[in-house]
Amino acid sequence: MTKRCLCILALLLSALAFSGVAHAQFKSEAFNQQYNADDASSKDSTDVLFSFKDYFGGLAHKNEIKVGTMAAGSALFLGGCQIYNRDYWKLPLVYAGIGGGIGAGLYFNRQDRKDVAKWCFIGAGAAWWASLMDGVVSYDTDRYPLPGKATLYAILLPGLGQVYNGEAWKVPVYWGVIFGGVHFFMLNRTNYIRFRDIYREATDTETAYTGPISKETALYYRNVYREYRDYSILAIAAGYLLQIIDANVFSYMHDFDVSDDITLNVSPTVLSPVYAQRPAMGVRLGLSF
C-alpha cells in the first residue's frame, strides 16, 4: 500500500472517529435533556449497539426497536422492516424485486449476456435499497425529528437527512461536493488510464515505441492523475460522511431553544473589600439570553 493510500485511509478513519466523538459529546453533555418520559420513546435512539434479541423480538411485536436496529437487521434479513411496520402486503414486492433480479441476473450471466445480467443485478440492489428506505419512512414515532431517521435518510440518500431536518438549503452544498468529486474522479481516472497505457507501451521491450511523448513524461502524468483520482475519492467520501454527521447532529439541535432576545445590562456598582483592598466604584455588565 502506497503512502498516499495510507494517508487517505487515515483521514477516513479520523472522520469516522470525529463523528463518533461529536455524536457522544453532543448527547452526553450539550443535549442531556429529556425529550420524552415514556419508556417506548426512549427506544427511539441510536445509542445501543445492534441486538439480535431486540431485533427478532421487534419482528414478533414483543417489544419496540430502534429505527437503526430495524434497518440494520433488515439489511440482512430481507423484509424485516415491512414485518416490523406491519406492512405485510409489501413483502411479495420486496422478495420478487430482489429475488427476481438476482435470479434473472444469474440466468443471463450463464447465457453470456453480461450487459443484461448487470442491469438485473442493479435492479435487485435497487429493490433492496427501496425496501430499507420504505422501512425508515414507515417507521412510526411521535418525535420529530428523530435522529435515527435523519441519520438513515442521509446514509440511504445523501441530502435527504437535511430535507427531513428542514434544512434543504444544505442539499446543493453536499451534492456539489459529492457529484463534483464523482466528476473529477471520472476525469482523472480516464487520464490516468490513458497515460498508464502509454507508459506500458513505452516500456514494452518487445515492440518499438513511437509515441508522441517520452516514457518519463508518461510516467510523470500517470502518477499525477493517479494522485488526483485518489483525492477525488477522498472528496466523495468526505462529503458523504459530513452530510451524515450534519443530519445526525442537527436533528438533536432541532429542539434546542435559541432565543433572539439578547440584552446587555450596564449598571454602576460598589466593589466590596473582598474584591479590592478598599471599597471602590465600578461598572457591572449583565448579559441575558
Residue 61, all three cell numbers: 411485536
- Among 238, 117, 130, 124, which Cα is nearest to 176's? 238
Residue 20, all three cell numbers: 463518533
Q: Name residues whose C-beta falls within 8 Å of residue 19's C-beta, 6 or more positions apart in sequence.
A: 241, 244, 245, 248
Scan for cell 471599597, then name that residue. 279
Domains of the chain by residue range: 1-31+168-258, 36-142, 261-289
Residue 272, all three cell numbers: 466590596
d(CA 175, CA 218) in angstroms, rounded, equals: 34
| CA 64, chain centre distance (Å) | 25
Contact 213, 198 (CB under 8 A): yes
User: At residue 213, what is the residue type?
Assistant: I
Q: Which residues of 120-152 are buried (b: 16+ CB within 10 A; e: fewer)?
A: bbebbeebbebbbbbbbeebebebebbbbbbbb
Query: Residue 115 class from Cβ within 10 Å (0-12 exposed, 13-18 middle, 19+ buried)?
Result: exposed
Name the β-bridge partners of 265.
Answer: 286
Residue 134, all three cell numbers: 420504505
Residue 42 is predicted with a pLDDT of: 46
What percent helix, strand, coil does the chain show, rounded to 5? 65, 5, 30
Q: pLDDT per position in the chain (289 positions), as tens?
A: 454 554 555 445 444 444 443 444 444 333 343 333 344 444 444 445 678 889 999 999 999 999 999 999 999 999 999 999 999 999 999 999 999 999 999 999 999 999 999 999 999 999 999 999 999 999 999 889 899 999 999 999 999 999 999 999 999 999 999 999 999 999 999 999 999 999 998 888 788 877 788 889 999 999 999 999 999 999 999 999 999 999 999 998 876 655 556 666 666 766 665 555 566 666 666 655 5
Residue 116 is predicted with a pLDDT of: 95
Half-sphere exposure in the Cβ direction for 170 (13 Å, CA)? 20
Name the β-bridge partners of 285.
Answer: 266
